[in-house]
Amino acid sequence: MLALAYGSPRTDARAVPEKILVIRRNGIGDMICALPLIRHLHRAYPSARIDVLASARNAPILAGVPLVSGVHVYRRGRGLMRNHYLNLRRLLRPVREARYDLALAANGGFSRLVAVIAYATGVPRRVGFVPREGHALDFCFNLAVRQPAAREHQIERCLRLLEPLGIPRGAIDVSFDLAAEHEAYAERTLGGAKPYVLFNASASRAASQWPAASIAATAAGLERRHGLRTLVCGLPRERAPVEAAGLDFVETPSVMHFAALVRRARFLMCGDGGPMHVAAAMGTPAFVLFSSTTDAQAWRPWGVPFSCLTAQAGVAGITPEDALAKIDEWIAGKWSG
């Protein structure tokens, strides 16, 4: 049925790929966690072109990754074409025309939709996760990796996709570059301000958003205990409650502008989500409030000093007193954690 709907994959596979497609949809953090996989592919196949099928949310990260040659943005259609499966033939037409040799579905586990997307690209060699117990869509990946039972970081999980290709793991790099305009924005915004903590007030899920009153109480404690000013950033809808709580607020025009502020901060404080991975990319310590639905072991910011609190449910249940006590302990331990 998939062959009838989207056409059969090609069979003209090259032993050494000349064109590689990495499929990584969803959020900013998902893309940052896939960057080490992309860099490993580049090291293994230095002359190959590497393109990415991304979402509108995470595609901007790739502007700071020069080794990525092109980006296909996965966009939902309208009306009937809002249905992923009905939309795929139209959406993937330029992907099929590009005639990639190798595709990797960089998910943290098996996804029926991503399996169908990989098949519908028409790429002859397709790497992706399949369930340990098997699934009717296993055939979508002819270089399948059994989803491991062990808990591991999302980056390590993505790197498992190298195994069918015989590519060894090397150094992990989650960084991306900033343009001069982003650096200039941060300098204008900060205006030579004293050392500061950046608090990201935005969250894609309500369970990961902290109330403005809690942010304000924590900011007062950080100023009193550590001499650190708190700058709050977020989306326009967060401005009114944050400013009503007496805090400085700045709207960041893009994730790259946000990253420039993160890079200059003493540390970033945020709910679980993409911002903590931006901190990892910028080499900035991160203090994260995790909701009960996010696995801190699998999603912690990679390679930077890190500490966290995990809520019993949503992060709104975490008190400023608990946060300040944990931050005091973290700073006293010289950013261990």
Tell me: the pLDDT tens digits for 8-48? 999 998 989 999 999 999 999 999 999 999 999 999 999 99
Instruction: Using the predicted structure, report yes or no on whether residue 77 has a pLDDT greater than 80.
Output: no
- Chain region(s) in the chain for CATH 3.40.50.2000: 2-165, 180-332
Q: How confident is residue 164, by pLDDT bands cut at 50, 70 and 90?
A: very high
pLDDT in tens, 193-240: 778 999 999 888 888 889 999 999 999 999 999 999 999 999 888 899
Instruction: Using the predicted structure, report yes or no on whether residue 335 has a pLDDT greater than 70.
Output: no
At 29 the pLDDT is 95
The H or E element spanning position 191 is none
Instruction: Using the predicted structure, report yes or no on whether residue 84 has a pLDDT greater than 90.
Output: no
Beta strand 306-310 pairing with 286-290: parallel
Lowest mean pLDDT among 99-103, 191-195, 270-274: 191-195
Share of the chain above pLDDT 70, in %: 98
At 133 the pLDDT is 87
Share of the chain above pLDDT 90, in %: 76
At 131 the pLDDT is 93
Instruction: Using the predicted structure, report yes or no on whether residue 132 has a pLDDT greater than 90.
Output: no
Instruction: Using the predicted structure, report yes or no on whether residue 80 has a pLDDT greater than 70.
Output: no
The H or E element spanning position 101 is none
Across the beta sheet with 248-251, the strand order is 248-251, 229-234, 196-200, 267-271, 286-290, 306-310
At 267 the pLDDT is 97
Residue range 180-332 forms a domain whose CATH class is alpha beta
Domain 2-165 CATH assignment equals 3.40.50.2000: yes
- DSSP track, 17-84: -SEEEEEE-S-HHHHHHHHHHHHHHHHHSTTSEEEEEEETTTGGGGGG-TT--EEEEE---SGGGGSH
pLDDT in tens, 180-197: 999 999 999 998 777 899
Instruction: Using the predicted structure, report yes or no on whether residue 278 has a pLDDT greater than 70.
Output: yes
Lowest mean pLDDT among 69-83, 139-153, 202-216: 69-83
Read off the pLDDT of each residue in 41-70 and give the average, rounded to a whole number.
97
Q: How much is the mean pLDDT over the chain?
A: 93
Q: Which of 125, 126, 129 shows the shortest CA–CA distance to 108?
A: 129
The H or E element spanning position 130 is strand 125-130
Read off the pLDDT of each residue in 311-332 and give the average, rounded to a whole number.
93
Q: How confident is residue 334, by pLDDT bands cut at 50, 70 and 90?
A: low
